[in-house]
Amino acid sequence: ENLAHTNTAELLISVVCLAVLVPVKEVNTRCRRRLRTPIPVEILMVIIATCVTYASSLNSSYNVEIVGHIPAGFPKPQLPAFHTFPAIAGDT
């Protein structure tokens, strides 16, 4: 139903990331004894994909969404909205 709304550039980035993630995870599993620490491929892929997207201006050319400003720290604690409890309890 929503396949027609797929952003081709975002789909291509996702496929390339998966094509890197899966083999490197397999290498991590097979070389567990030889590697002191596993290769942190997940965080590396996030950093690399974000940098490539930003550097190549894919956000303006192909409407690829890039994470904007992320506020520092945690939000102030607050009580949850009580009107959502029936919907949440119904899901369990």
3-state SS string over the chain? CCHHHCCHHHHHHHHHHHHHHHHHHHHHHHCCCCCCCCCCHHHHHHHHHHHHHHHCCHHHHCCCCCCCCCCCCCCCCCCCCHHHHHHHHHHC
Task: Supply the pLDDT for residue 53.
Answer: 84
Q: Tell me which residues of the chain have a pLDDT lower than 50.
A: none
Domain boundaries, given as residue ranges, for the chain? 3-61
Whole-number pLDDT of residue 83: 87
Q: What is the pLDDT of residue 90?
A: 67
pLDDT at 92: 54
pTM: 0.64
pLDDT of residue 43: 93
Specify the pLDDT at position 19: 96
Q: Each residue of 26-46: pLDDT tens digit?
A: 988 888 888 888 889 999 998
The per-residue pLDDT for 18 is 94
Residue with tokens 């590396």: 44
